[in-house]
């Protein structure tokens, strides 16, 4: 559609009887314009339906106002919620979100970051996957800010926001033991992301420290169906576990459904279940799942606050949140 129907500052200037710079200044906060000129410009702009071209403005200012959100499996409850919080915070800060879908394939995140560079995004927020170091360096060198959420990377430059997964996992062990459970299990997906593995190691480590053995099972992607499969595996054993910590709520929902409907187990009487994320469904009464709440709003606020910050990078770019344990009825003795 190579037409040029958008009204430009030039036309507004002509109609208002002022110079084009006056129009420009009217829409630039803090610029010097007399009230009278501003009034006439605004009036003309209104009448003509003028809107500042942010593409051109971005070109001049070297600041597009665009922030890239790089996500895979964005329709899962936790991700969707994080995206919501992020876009909301970005809008509040006068930025706008560009959303890019990635998949499991290698280089998918790199491709997304290249897109971010092409659109001269002021920043990129990576919620899934790990980009190649060379690409992140390219972004940083280009003055683009980078936020890594739960990526557990050690490179300097990006803001790294992480949860204390291992510590949280340890608290689950304590809860299970208090509930009188002795045969612990951990249900994980095969995705192997740093967060998931930290939960696994934290859980296993804490259990070992208390002298309790742990059954660990891993299967498939991090979703409901995998939770069911994991239940199949863990609940058909001779010595059935009496408490299972699922690496995410989605896994836990699948696990609980299989445990109840297929194995006729009563939760929490015969089996305690805990999850992670506190997705909306965890609060639904069919699950009423004890879980850890990811502070998505605080994460989003922190990320956006950091990336709109004019100042040079602060000393440490790493933030660590301690997730809240949300007690519900899937674990005895809350």
Give the torsion through C-alpha atoms of 11, 12, 15, 18, to 10 deg: -110
**Residue 270 beta carbon to its own copies: minimum distance, rounded to whole angstroms:** 17
Identified binder of its own copies from the candidate list 24, 26, 37, 64, rule CB under 8 A: 64
Positions in 3-32 near its own copies (CB under 8 A):
3-6
* 116 lines the binding site for DNA (CB under 7 A): no
Give the torsion through C-alpha atoms of 125, 163, 278, 103, to 10 deg: 40
Positions in 40-79 near DNA (CB under 7 A):
50, 52-53, 56-57, 59-62
Q: Are 292 and 323 in contact (CB under 8 A)?
A: yes
Residue 43 CA to residue 9 CA, distance in Å, equals 13
The DSSP code for 281 is G
- Residue 101 touches which of its own copies, DNA, none (CB < 5 to 8 A by kind)? its own copies
* 118 lines the binding site for its own copies (CB under 8 A): yes
In degrees and rounded to multiples of 5, residue 247 shows phi and psi of: -65, -25
Number of shown-chain residues binding its own copies (CB under 8 A): 65
* 114 lines the binding site for its own copies (CB under 8 A): yes
**Residue 64 beta carbon to its own copies: minimum distance, rounded to whole angstroms:** 6
Extract the tokens encoding 127: 């919620």
The DSSP code for 75 is T
**Residue 215 beta carbon to its own copies: minimum distance, rounded to whole angstroms:** 23
Residue 127 CA to residue 159 CA, distance in Å, equals 12
In degrees and rounded to multiples of 5, residue 186 shows phi and psi of: -125, 125
Site string for DNA, 258-297 (x = CB under 7 A): ----------------------------------------
As beta bridge partners, residue 277 has 293
- Contacts with its own copies by CB under 8 A lie at 1-6, 49, 51-56, 58-59, 61-64, 66, 69, 74-77, 79-81, 83-84, 87-88, 91, 96-101, 114-115, 117-120, 122, 138, 141-143, 224, 253-254, 256-258, 260-261, 280-281, 284-287, 310
């Amino acid at each position: 559609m190579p037409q040029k129907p958008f009204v430009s500052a030039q036309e507004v200037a002509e109609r208002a009887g002022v110079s084009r710079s006056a129009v420009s200044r009217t829409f630039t906060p803090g610029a010097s314009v007399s009230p009278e000129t501003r009034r006439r410009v605004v009036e003309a702009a209104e009448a003509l339906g003028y809107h500042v071209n942010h593409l051109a403005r971005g070109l001049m200012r070297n600041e597009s106002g665009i922030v890239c959100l790089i996500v895979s499996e964005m329709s899962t409850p936790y991700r969707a919620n994080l995206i919501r919080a992020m876009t909301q915070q970005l809008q509040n800060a006068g930025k706008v979100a560009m959303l890019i879908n990635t998949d499991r394939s290698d280089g998918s995140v790199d491709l997304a970051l290249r897109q971010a560079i092409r659109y001269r995004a002021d920043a990129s927020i990576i919620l899934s996957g790990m980009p190649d170091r060379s690409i992140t360096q390219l972004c940083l060198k280009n003055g683009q800010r980078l936020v890594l959420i739960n990526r557990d990377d050690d490179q300097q430059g990006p803001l790294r926001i992480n949860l204390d997964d291992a510590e949280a996992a340890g608290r689950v062990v304590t809860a299970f033991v208090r509930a009188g459970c002795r045969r612990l299990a951990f249900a994980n997906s095969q995705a192997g992301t740093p967060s998931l593995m930290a939960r696994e190691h934290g859980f296993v480590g804490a259990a070992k420290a208390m002298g309790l053995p742990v059954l660990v099972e891993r299967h498939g992607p991090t979703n409901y169906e995998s939770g069911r499969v994991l239940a199949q595996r863990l609940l058909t054993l001779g010595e059935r576990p009496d408490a299972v910590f699922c690496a995410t709520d989605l896994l836990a929902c699948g696990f609980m459904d299989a445990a109840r409907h297929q194995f006729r187990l009563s939760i929490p009487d015969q089996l305690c279940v805990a999850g992670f994320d506190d997705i909306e469904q965890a609060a639904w009464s069919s699950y009423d799942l004890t879980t850890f709440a990811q502070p998505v709003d605080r994460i989003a606020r922190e990320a956006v606050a950091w990336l709109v910050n004019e100042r040079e990078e602060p000393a440490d770019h790493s933030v660590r949140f301690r997730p809240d344990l949300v007690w519900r009825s899937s674990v005895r003795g809350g």
